[in-house]
Amino acid sequence: MAAVKRADTKPELALRRALHRGGVRFRLQANDVFGHPDLVVRKFKIAVFVDGDMWHGHEHVRRGLPSLEALFPTNTRFWCEKIRQNVERDREVNERLRSDGWTVIRLWATDVLADPDAAARIVVEALGRSREAREHRRESGSGSDGQVL
């Protein structure tokens, strides 16, 4: 597991290139943001995670297997528990960031690799919604409460 990269994975690089081509600017590996998102657009409080299918509980679905257990013929209990803990941690990170006013986007690595531009559009659409909400708050004089309408 030490060989599993935390940053600069192929899917992450593909998404970054697609976003950059579209004019989106972002920060990488924001260690000061809870959950350490892969990409962050601070101005609009958008946190993007590119999750590996295997480690975040999607690989068995992608392969058409009936359950997570079917993915691991040996040491099943250990691996399934590890992945379930990852999924639970992802849920906790999502909840915490949302309660702090962030928009959380989670993308599957295989989806990003299959179509980086489609993945980038998801981020761009979220940016558009955040911009509109920010402008609406500014026009209505309600201040910056960090809530997305």
- Write the pLDDT tens digit of every residue in 93-121: 999 999 999 999 999 999 999 999 999 99
Q: What does the pLDDT look like over 9-18, one tens digit per residue?
A: 999 999 999 9
Neighbouring C-alpha atoms within 13 Å toward the C-beta of 119: 27
Identify the CATH number of the domain in which residue 106 sits: 3.40.960.10
**For the packed helices 10-21 and 116-140, what is the interaxial angle rounded to 10 degrees?**
60
pLDDT of residue 139: 66
pLDDT of residue 145: 45
Range of the domain at 72: 10-140
Question: Mean pLDDT throughout 53-75?
Answer: 91
> Does 89 fall in a domain?
yes
> Does 128 fall in a domain?
yes
109 against 131, higher pLDDT:
109
